[in-house]
Chain A
């Protein structure tokens, strides 16, 4: 049986732990490890997609990197950044000596914490997607480029009722797991199973009867942010009252939704990229794509759109480096098409849409950090100049004194 440490020893151990957590040594070690990770993660982009590298180095707790043939176990950037944040709070905010000489450093550290906080808010709460609008057409919603959902649609009197299950609710349903979804307004229960992150349908073989003669074949996923992944799963509709049971395969690239009729009502069930409503309607009036004369160097990509909000129309110009900001939403010029075709053809624009509560935090953090560093380094420079002047004066005075 181990002996309980005395309170004094516990406090000493705690103090020691806090001292280590807030130490310069830990800070330097973490910074150097981050430096190494960033370097390796940069080099590896020559051979792997940026998303694969990002997942391996910058969104991980631990990783194995290969320096030549030598495997190297390293902490991932998530782990390092988490410890660095603790180190910054403990050493750079709480334990730091407070005074005029450290005020600038303290401000800079607070600015870094603000930046980290902003990144955390963005990471957890932001929504990112895009909207494609043809000239003359109006968009009311935008969609994710990598996140999926299963949507149940019912069209009644020209209106569409939607029931949506975001990907988080079925991402874990790899074979053989299944999950049943039920809602009071629906006359059936929907069971989802056999989720595959990247797959394609193939004719069913022997021993695999499949659904309607097809099965989904798993493919190697190509990274979370890569739009190359097309998921699929099996969906079963069961209506206990009527005893109806229907099943199908849902695949991301299906052109038509699955249509089922239950209790005399018609439902469309679709696996599609996740969608969100826009805070206002956007109509593309004109898209302009210009090259520098006589070259293929892009000069301008511009979307001339009309923002329609509550019946009020407002013309807006969205171009590179000049997004549209409205509330928490930002619309960026992202793409256009079709690139091939005769001059004067109808074009579409692709706008990236980001809903981010911390959109302006990096700018504020940058100002705070710059102010802190300027204060600290400016003070140091002033002291240094003063000392140099005194040194020179002393040096010039010394021969006079000697002569005197």
Chain B
């Protein structure tokens, strides 16, 4: 091809590429615009350790931003209009400092488009379950709010799923709007009534922060407006109606700004006896109401917040302002002894130990899988051991740090029980493996570890709430949480481990694994039995301790409450299995099937009773996990059924089931 012709073709290709880029750019509005620069790392790092009070506790802003975004978006990241994945703090800074950009970030998960259909919106190009930006939802914002108000007064059980989603979406939008207006008290100027201008140096417009600098004058003006309003009610003449109208307009504008400024409670109280932290809106309102200026320690933080609001485009100034907000809060919180664990909490959340553990458990499983292909390799056998130990060490370290942060035993919430039970099950598997060295428990441990942490992770996402919540008064006892809940959850761990080991027997028999090796199945059977004994010990003791705790709290030992019944069902199922074994009514295979059944009961007691929505143990109610739970019941039921069918097909003297081993009371009839 001649050179000129080649050049022509190349130029043509370039033009076509250019057109294609332009078309794609035009099809994705926003990308043609320059993306705003990312927030400076110094500012983000400082913001992470700003202390805020929320849900009754003092937490780092890092945590607050994380679960707020998780609650909105069901994940700890949001994709902005330029396709960038924002972490929670970057997103929060966007909302507060660059609301126009944040409005285009898809940070609201709508789980069912029926929610939008209900408010008259027909989204195009979206999936049934999809994410939307504030700008997407703005046209139907008023209708969402109207319908949510209508449904909010209904009992939760009376609402349809769509109505529940609608109420939640409205709640999220309201919080979002307050966050995007959080700094308006320092950045947005409102008209100053003529009477007030002399006090403000003749200014016609001023921010709420400026107005709070002359609180007595503002208070007096508002008071005059209120008095006039009262006079109007009494049909008295209104000689100063213009002033009164201005006063009322000012009051309305101030209330609007103050409401938004109440989204974050980041000002520690100055009085040691007070426990409730204030928002900028609170202290500004107090200043106006009392006619006294905002106390200097709080005023300094408000000025720093104002500087933050004005320096969104100046990275150095922004970082300095954020640091002033942080350090100002730290000084006050530290004096109250409320800042000590902020950095540790941020470190824990940034470190994300449970994600690391999950990774190690998955790698350990791959290591175990590799062993299947090279079973005689000694050094290969050490890899899953090492991976499991590292994974477990990180897992336990994460739990320990949580205990230090909460000053509680590791089992005070449903989320924490998932972490604890998983660690206990993995540890127990490793102990069994260490005793038996059969590589059976070694295979089960990573599966249990990964599944358990996956469940914990999904539950955290589903709840979208702080995982360090304050406990209600009746649970506020470390002694009983330590002895009763720990015992019960160890019982759960043992029951689930027994069930997992029983799967090896049932699925192994089904698939013909080690068909000629009866010793293998006897070993697994012994392990299952051992796990059941471990489970029974802790289930029995934990259940009775629960009764004793109930007696201490409510004055009755047993009340047939669903959670109590769940614990009793576990005990009864395990007692039935062990007595059936002692009586020779069940043998290895039958015990395996029964242990899987007992595992279903553990799941019912742990999660299922919470879905009934009844009872005194109402600290763990959860919606949205019923599908997963039913799936678990279904799969496990199918495994039991499959096992039973296998037993029917193979029973008899020549079957795989070994004959009774001389147990007293054993019957000569074939037993599973």
Residues of A in contact with B (beta carbons under 8 Å apart): 23-25, 27-28, 31-32, 34-35, 38-39, 41-43, 45-46, 50, 53-54, 57-58, 97, 115, 119, 122, 128, 291-295, 297-301, 319-323, 330, 332, 334, 352, 354, 359, 362-363, 365-366, 369-370, 373-374, 377, 380-381, 384-385, 388, 392
Contacts and interface: CB of A to CB of B under 8 A. Distances in A.
A330 B555 contact: yes
Interface residues of B, number: 69
Residue of B530, B536, B551 most packed against chain A (CB within 10 A)? B551
Given A128-B555, A373-B541, A299 B476 contact: yes
B537 interface: yes
Interface string B623-640: 000000000000000000
A374 B56 contact: no
Contacts of A362: 544, 547-548, 551, 557
A363 B584 CA distance: 33
Sorted nearest first, the 8 A-B pairs with minimum C-beta distance are: A24-B583, A292-B56, A352-B555, A31-B576, A366-B544, A295-B56, A293-B276, A332-B555
Contacts of A54: 560
Interface string B268-282: 000000011100000
A335 to B, nearest CB: 11
B403 to A, nearest CB: 20
Contact of B557 (A122, A292, A380): A122
Given A46-B613, A359-B551, A25 B583 contact: yes
A39 to B, nearest CB: 6
Contacts of B469: 297
B477 interface: yes
Given A321-B553, A363-B548, A392-B437, A369 B559 contact: no
A35 B573 contact: yes
Given A31-B575, A35-B569, A366-B545, A377 B265 contact: no
A24 B579 contact: yes
Residue of A24, A297, A300 most packed against chain B (CB within 10 A)? A24
B160 to A, nearest CB: 18
A43 B569 CA distance: 13
Given A31-B572, A54-B560, A293-B53, 16 more contacts: A24-B583, A25-B585, A31-B573, A35-B576, A38-B572, A42-B609, A46-B612, A293-B275, A297-B470, A362-B547, A366-B545, A373-B541, A377-B534, A377-B537, A381-B533, A388-B436
Contacts of B56: 291-295, 297, 299
A34 B601 CA distance: 14
A25 B580 CA distance: 7
Given A128-B555, A299-B470, A384 B565 contact: no
A27 B579 CA distance: 7
Interface of B: 53-57, 265, 275-277, 435-437, 469-474, 476-477, 479-480, 526, 530, 533-534, 536-537, 540-541, 544-545, 547-549, 551-562, 565-566, 568-569, 572-573, 575-576, 579-580, 582-585, 601, 609, 612-615, 664-665
A363 B552 CA distance: 11
B615 A45 contact: yes
9 contacts: A42-B612, A46-B613, A292-B55, A292-B470, A295-B56, A354-B555, A362-B557, A366-B541, A373-B540
Given A24-B665, A128-B555, A301-B473, A38 B541 contact: no
Contacts of B479: 321
B573 A297 contact: no
B544 A115 contact: yes
B572 A42 contact: no
Main secondary structure of the interface of A (DSSP, over half): helix
Contacts of A34: 572
A42 to B, nearest CB: 4
A374 B572 CA distance: 18
Contacts of B560: 41, 50, 53-54, 57-58
Contacts of B554: 332, 334, 352
A54 B549 CA distance: 21
Given A27-B579, A294-B53, A366 B548 contact: yes
A374 B499 CA distance: 22
Contacts of B547: 362
B605 to A, nearest CB: 9
Nearest to A122: B557
Given A34-B572, A45-B562, A294-B54, A388 B435 contact: yes
B385 to A, nearest CB: 16
Given A46-B614, A321-B552, A332-B554, A297 B545 contact: no
A42 B562 CA distance: 5
Given A24-B579, A28-B576, A43 B612 contact: yes
Contacts of B573: 31, 35
Contacts of B580: 24, 28
Contacts of B566: 42
B537 A370 contact: yes
B449 to A, nearest CB: 23
